[in-house]
Amino acid sequence: MTETTAASPATARGRDRLPGKALFGLFLAGFIGILTECLPAGLLPEISRTLSTSVAATGQIVTVYAAATALAAIPLSRLTVKWSRKTVLQVALGTVAITNALTALSTDYTLTMVIRFVAGLGTALVWTQLAGYAARLSPPSVQGRAIAIALAGTPISLALGVPVGTWLSTFGGWQTAFWVAAALSLLNMLWFVVNLANLPGQAGHERFTLGQVLAMPGLRTILFALTTYMVAHNILYTYVTDFLRFAGLESQVGWVLFAFGVTSVLSVVVVGAHIDHHLRKLIVASTLLFAVSVLVLAVLSGVPAFVYLAAAAWGLAFGSSPSLFIGAAITATVEAADVAQSIVISFFSGSIALGGLVGGLLIAGLGTASITWASLVLLVFSVIAVVGGRGHAFPRGA
């Protein structure tokens, strides 16, 4: 994997190591983005009482956030293409900090929805910067590893952020979790002031239209594989509590999710060590392992040991999937990597909202068991796209 749009500062100084402090800051920014998105999931009953709405209506503050991120990633990325990258991140984190604080203060449902939409705009800018920033700061030989570290905040936040946020709410209500998220955003901004090198905008990239970028060989295959993979994940993950209740494991939800979370973190370590030399193999393995784990959930949901095993395999497959798909997009679109990343983020965020919607419709219409079979069908298409994309999307030797 290489990023040729700008000389790597580390390479220019003859260094051959990762910029650890900068990557930690990028990792934390990704962690905060997912934390801000998913915090309400563990606090819906408490938030609904404050806003005087139903739990179902309150759940839409997660949906509106994801929708804003999906809609805004591309236009905001193009609008800020000439800005210095550090400025973009600081503005984005400042937006997230302010909106988290306002969410904690709001007692009005409509106002909260508006605030959450704006929060999603800030996160859209955060996520479009992480992979490209990490690549540009790092030597070409370890750019894949740098991207994996920068994006590791996503699975770790999914594994730890929501449970910790729920725990924090016991110290002063659900608002405490949002105040802590706001404080983390401010600390992240201070960390960047000291430890993040400023990089110029990539003004040349605006010469590429969306149509031109989408026409680049391999990108559409990557987006198809990403969408089917992520929708399948979000159908299951959004309604995992319902599925475990269906499987007779309602009292063990926390432990099953713990198994998922532990292997998600392990995935970051495994993929980070090998992504620079085995990108294709890792993506193929991720999609196949995810498909097999969902098949086990569909067929053997009545056997607790297999449910745990499948959840662990699912976490191992999913943990670093954002790094893998974004890495593939950067490799396929080197000349317009920033634009391609914004497109990938839009599809990624859109898949979160679409997965929740489709999963709800499936459960209402066909029952809880249907979500595993629907996810499996989507993953079969994803496997076909990944295995078949040998030319430009997921080339051999990538």
Q: Convert the pLDDT of each residue in 201-240 to its tens digit.
A: 765 555 666 677 777 778 888 899 999 999 999 888 877 7
The answer to whether residue 248 scores a pLDDT higher than 50 is yes
Which residues touch 147 (CB under 8 Å, ≥6 apart)? 1, 130, 131, 134, 135, 275, 323, 326, 327, 330
Question: To the nearest whole number, what is the mean pLDDT of the chain?
Answer: 83
CA distances from 88 to 28, 79, 189, 200 (A): 16, 10, 11, 10
pLDDT confidence of residue 323: 79
What per-residue confidence (pLDDT) applies to 16? 60
Report the Cα 58 to chain-centroid distance in Å: 22
pLDDT at 12: 44
- Flag whether pLDDT at 179 surpasses 80: yes
Whether the per-residue pLDDT at 2 is higher than 50: the answer is no
Residue 389 is predicted with a pLDDT of: 79
At 358 the pLDDT is: 84
Lowest mean pLDDT among 51-60, 122-131, 153-162: 153-162
pLDDT of 4 over the 50 cut: no
pLDDT of residue 302: 84
Q: How far apart are alpha carbons 107 and 166 in whole angstroms?
A: 19
Could you identify the residue written with the tokens 């570290």? 149
Report the amino acid identity of residue 221. Answer: T
What's the whole-number mean pLDDT along residues 236-251? 81
pTM of the model: 0.77
Higher pLDDT, 87 or 217: 87
Predicted confidence at residue 8, as pLDDT, reads: 47
Q: What are 143-159's pLDDT values in tens digits?
A: 778 888 888 887 788 77
Residue 32 has pLDDT above 90, yes or no: yes
Of 271, 243, 278, whose CA–CA distance to 257 is shortest?
243
- 321 against 12, higher pLDDT: 321
Q: Which amino acid is at 96?
A: V
Residue whose structure tokens are 């973190």: 265
101-126 CB burial, b ≥16 within 10 A, e <16: bbbbebeebeebbebbbbbbbbbbbb
Burial letters for 277-287: b for 16+ Cβ neighbours within 10 Å, e otherwise?
ebbbebbbbbb
Residue 14: per-residue pLDDT: 46
Q: Which two tokens stand for residue 204?
A: 């040349």
Whether 60 has a pLDDT exceeding 90, the answer reads no
Residue in 322, 345, 349 with CA at minimum distance from that of residue 66: 349
When pLDDT is cut at 50, 70 and 90, the band that residue 271 belongs to is confident
Residue, of 102 and 259, whose pLDDT is higher: 102
How far apart are alpha carbons 73 and 122 in whole angstroms?
9
